[in-house]
Amino acid sequence: MFSKILIANRGEIAVRIIKTCRRMGIKTVQVYSEADAGSLAVEMADEAVLIGPAPAAQSYLLADKIVEAVRQTGAEAVHPGFGFLSENAGFARRLREEGIAFIGPNPEAIEAMGDKISSKKLAAEAGVSTVPGHMGLIETPEEAVRIANQIGYPIMIKASAGGGGKGIRVAHSDADMAEGFAAVKAEALNAFGDDRVFLEKFIIDPRHIEIQVLGDKHGHVVHLFERECSIQRRNQKVIEEAPSPLLDEATRAAMGAQAVALAQAVNYDSAGTVEFVAGQDKSFYFLEMNTRLQVEHPVTELITGVDLVEQMIRSAWGEKLAFEQKDLKIDGWAIESRIYAEDPYRGFLPSIGRLVRYEQPEEGEQDGYVVRNDSGVREGDEISMFYDPMIAKLCAWGETREAAVAGMARALEDTHLSGLGHNVPFLAAVMDQERFRSGRLSTSYIKDEFPDGFHGLKPTQDQERILIAAAMAMHEIIAEQDGDPSDRTDWIVMIDKTPHGVGLSYDADEAMILTLTGGGDIRLSEIDWRPGLAQFKAELDGEAFTAEVRRVADGFDIRHRAAKARVRVLRPQVAELYARLPEKAVADTSKLVLSPMPGLVVSIPVVVGQAVKTGETVAIIEAMKMQNILKAERDGVVKAVGAKDGDPVAADDVLVEFG
């Protein structure tokens, strides 16, 4: 077995690989950019080598730097993780020529399946069902429009070398096609160094289901069942689960057989994923093959008990698979939520900065579920604009889907982050939705359920009780600490502007008994909070919960899952005055186009004095390797332009002002 492996990646996947290597007794070398000098992966690895500045093109994408680090440290193999050089056939071939093992598939398999155009042709030859489309190269927007009309809208525009949700647009018209084609080519060239683009029919109300395959160098290939990845935003997976609530045994077997046949056709010899788009009627079509480890691999590991990183290492060493297809079985259900540094209340825009607080849920077996949290950052670390804004992959396993969903909801409650925007409230909202709990998924789920964006959810009756109980308990704890306890037993708890009458008493076990006007009694016990803590933990009528809390001048800001509110504990006469306070006026920004995120200005194609129509592009901002097109929301004349091409901008910087 290898004695030392170099990890040519960063963040949570680097940490994930290090953990398996430690268990196998293999030493690790972590390469890093200047931005990652203080990272968790660098701290955990046995050795670390600086390979360049922060931009990936000057560090993690430089094969010469990786090979030099291998030679410098005496590593015998390279694990590329996902992204960066993981699907670069030239890199895999270079390592083979240098006598360095590549922990991934052979370069010929990468070459055959990594290119989306050639892979679809190979899939068709192997008898795998494929989506109608145009696999030839397309050079101009005009040509793309002509072909699109032959296929019929809607159409997916995809970068041939794409991945990770980048280099993808859906066009519903000729105008969408012309603009989207140019944008995808630009994104593809920037992210992958390859601007080839192809078109394929967009399946209405589709589901995204993928099959995990695993091969060795002796011709054996198995599949480890499926993952459902339909909860997506901007073609980026957000929530994944295994198995899929859509599939029956016959469909599962058919998809698995096609995935294995395709892998065998290219002599696949590592972990890989065959992705399918599926109809609600269980029809399915080949999308692409990812010739690497997937971000969402933990859910497969949780339901099969197979460590995919370990199997990749063993395959690269030359070992035969230690199991056959008949030995693999699905055990329970697993769900993964991708926690990103992005602000769901601002259209999910990237939110870079320092992670001031990061409290993670306890891993391992809990009350009816199991928690796993793959994270590459710690409290105090910075989320950089140079890389994907992922903070963690939070996973929950349960014996049933219902148990896994409930476990995920509780694990999200126990996650607290501050210092930057994050999507935990949004993930919690999905867990609480009846549609998600019923398994009625599609790739349009987020657009369907949150058509006007995410603004949180209104508290349910149970959540109102949690907000009331938490506020009352914190109010009493603070009064006791300040030496000013009150013998008052009647209070008004204001949830935003809504008053709730509350009677306060204690039982023989010193648990709080709250009598709600028109709502009966609730019992609050096992309180775990003191002033300064950001999480309030307790049991409400015997059910454990966690709420995120912050003390403010006249009360508390409390969030439970996707419901948040300003909560005040008031004497009845004071509550009457609060109800009469006027609402604070909101600043008028209707004539301003603001930068929605920190990033770089790609272009501002308007000038002072220009008349602009609704829907016209007024700025393009690049952040987290994605181009964001900003359009005019109304007709107007440009009064001022606040930035120029190439300028760095912060969130809310004024880009264009209309007169």
Catalytic residues: 288
Residue 284 and residue 276 in contact, taking contact as beta carbons nearer than 8 Å: yes
3-state secondary structure of 155: strand
**Cα(228)–Cα(252) distance, integer angstroms:** 12
Q: Name all contacts of 568-571 with Cβ < 8 Å and 24+ positions apart.
A: 568/471, 568/493, 568/494, 569/471, 569/472, 569/475, 569/491, 569/492, 569/493, 570/491, 570/492, 570/493, 570/494, 571/488, 571/491, 571/492
Whether omega before 154 lies within 30 degrees of 0, making that bond cis, reads yes
Backbone angles phi, psi at 9, to 5 degrees: -160, -165
3-state secondary structure of 561: coil
For residue 474, what are its two tokens?
A: 């914190």
Positive or negative, the Cα torsion across 569, 571, 574, 579? positive
Q: Which CA distances in Å does 394 have to 228, 296, 397, 407, 654? A: 16, 10, 10, 11, 36
Work out the end-to-end distance of the chain between its first and last CA atoms, rounded to an integer number of angstroms: 69
Residue 102 and residue 80 in contact, taking contact as beta carbons nearer than 8 Å: yes
**Side chain identity, residue 417:** L
Element (H, E) at 555: strand 555-560
| 3-state per-residue secondary structure call for 303-360 | HHCCCHHHHHHHHHHCCCCCCCHHHCCCCCEEEEEEEECEEHHHCCEECCEECCEEEC
Element (H, E) at 499: strand 498-506
* Burial class for 488, CB neighbours closer than 10 Å (0-12, 13-18, 19+): exposed
Taking the CA atoms of the chain, what radius of gyration do you get in angstroms?
27
For residue 488, what are its two tokens?
A: 């008052």
Residue 622 and residue 385 in contact, taking contact as beta carbons nearer than 8 Å: no
Q: Which residue has the tokens 């990786």?
A: 66
Of residues 483, 498, 357, 491, the one with CA closest to residue 420: 357
Of residues 599, 606, 604, the one with CA closest to residue 627: 599
DSSP string, 180-219: HHHHHHHHHHHHHS---EEEEEPPSS-EEEEEEEEE-TTS
Query: What 8-state DSSP symbol labels residue 597?
Result: S
Q: How far is CA 372 from the centre of its chain?
A: 15
